[in-house]
Amino acid sequence: MIDTSRGINWGPAAFIILYHIGLLCALPFYFYYHTPSLSLILISIGIFYLTGVSITAGYHRYFSHKSYKAHPVIEAILVFLGSMTAQGS
- Tell me how crowded residue 78 is: count the other CB atoms within 10 A of its CB: 21
Q: Residue type at 24?
A: L
What amino acid is encoded at 17 in this protein?
I
A 10 A CB-CB count for 48 gives 11
The whole model's pTM is what? 0.70
pLDDT in tens, 27-65: 999 999 999 999 999 999 999 999 999 999 999 999 889
Span between the terminal Cα atoms of the chain, in Å: 21
Residues belonging to the chain = 89
pLDDT digits (tens, 9 = 90+) for 4-32: 677 888 888 898 899 999 999 999 999 99
